[in-house]
Structure 1
Amino acid sequence: MSDLVIRPATEDDLPAVVAMLADDPLGAGRESPDDLTPYRAAFVRIAADPHQHLVVAERDGRTVGTLQLTVVPGLSRRGATRTIVEGVRIHSGERGSGLGTALIEWAVERSRELGASLVQLTSDATRTDAHRFYERLGFTASHLGFKLALPPQE
């Protein structure tokens, strides 16, 4: 992995990042790589928030992985800060190369640097391969997650 660079994402990375978000059965139905307008607006909000760390993995000048790390200060656990890992994606040509492990290890180390005492993530119930991957890296399936989709405000 010596040829790998993990760095903050830029707006120029959006086409590659959105393509990776769309490159699986779940993402294919909810992402729109042909219209980057909403992603650009979201990127501006993310970049302005110091609690958000959107990064890409780059190899040989190509964006080959991404994740978003969110810092959440809290009252529970004696006022602990936690981080949430979201949107982990690896380019299809890089899967199985150790890149996912490198990205998660980066997220855990960055979480330590940011003073977090807990790193958490969610993974869709259908992603059984991802579950095994996270468990191999020391994560424990500890909670049952719930979501409530909200309609767009007019």
Structure 2
Amino acid sequence: PPAGESDPMVIGGEVYAGTCSGCHGADGAGAAAGGTGAQLSDGALTATFADPLSQVYWIAHGSEGASRPDGTYGDLDREGGPHTLDLLPSVMPAFPDVPPEEMAALIIYIREGLSGGDPADDPNFNVDTFEANPAALAAMIEEVTALEPNDPDAVATVEGAETE
């Protein structure tokens, strides 16, 4: 394939630019730099969503469909405590129609490219696993996006979830 056609950083960057950057900013700084979305850069995203599949659930269902009944979302064991919807600078819309392989690339791009995540911390979602078997990542994503809304803890039941 042509250069970049199978590179998740290129694919994810394109999806991010077209879907996410309007609110989160080109560099993921979000509301801290004049955007309307939450900060994704400098470890903010990986601190909130330790498991990449939880991030998939959040993107697919949006803030109203991916939070718990008490308003918490993301990692309950997050340093400093879990985030709650009232801390968001704005509502996160749902993006249920992002194709699974593009969603996988987007997750890798945000985690590694914007949030500074270490690929070793995400054994299923990194450049090497994407290039080796994007269909496997797509299958996990399809399973997560099919989960019912407002039950983010169900992500732990998906094979490949990186819960502790």
TM-score, with length taken from structure 2: 0.27
More strand by share: 1
The structure with more radius of gyration: 1
More helix by share: 2
